[in-house]
Amino acid sequence: MSEETIFRKIINKEIPADIVYQDDFVTAFRDISPQAPVHILIVPNKLIATVNDIEVEDEVLVGKLYCVAKILAKQEGVDISGYRLIMNCNQDAGQEVYHIHLHLLGGKNLGKLISVEETIGE
Ligand code: 5GP
């Protein structure tokens, strides 16, 4: 698996992004095509391509993505109003960038998780 994902370049600051958080393990930046008033991507600095590639040794790192999400939700003022955390895996979920990332979405009513039209059997 190539180390050269677009997110790798953002983490390394080789290409610009609106980075809102960075430490030795995690980088978070605003999505280039926001789907909600708050749309931040929270990414491990280590390349893990998909959820299927998460190893036992990554458990703490993946947990840290959620801890950063909590901090950023408060920072963005959506911790009380509410927000959604999504991690897509592979084609049917629409994963575009093969470097795992947690979408933090908020700032509006996000509706149901899957629209009624797309619900099985309807
Ligand atoms: P996925 O579909 O893989 O779960 O989400 C990938 C996300 O990355 C999309 O929401 C897309 O808008 C965002 N994205 C793709 N390329 C870039 C980029 O170069 N910069 C930023 N900030 N976001 C990007």
Within a domain: 113: no
Within a domain: 29: yes
Phi, psi torsion values for 20, nearest 5 degrees: -110, -10
Handedness of CA 85, 40, 3, 91 (dihedral sign): positive
Is there an atom of ligand 1 within 6 Å of 97 CB? yes
Q: What is the pLDDT of residues 97-110, one digit of tens each?
A: 999 999 999 999 99
Average pLDDT score over residue span 24-50: 98
Whole-structure pTM value:
0.94
pLDDT at 19: 98
Within a domain: 117: no
Within a domain: 13: yes
Within a domain: 35: yes
Within a domain: 60: yes
> Residue 96 sits in which domain range?
6-108
- Here the CATH number for the domain that contains residue 81 is 3.30.428.10
Spacing, Cα 31 to ligand 1 middle (Å): 6
Total structural domains in the chain?
1
Within a domain: 68: yes
Is there an atom of ligand 1 within 6 Å of 6 CB? yes
Within a domain: 116: no
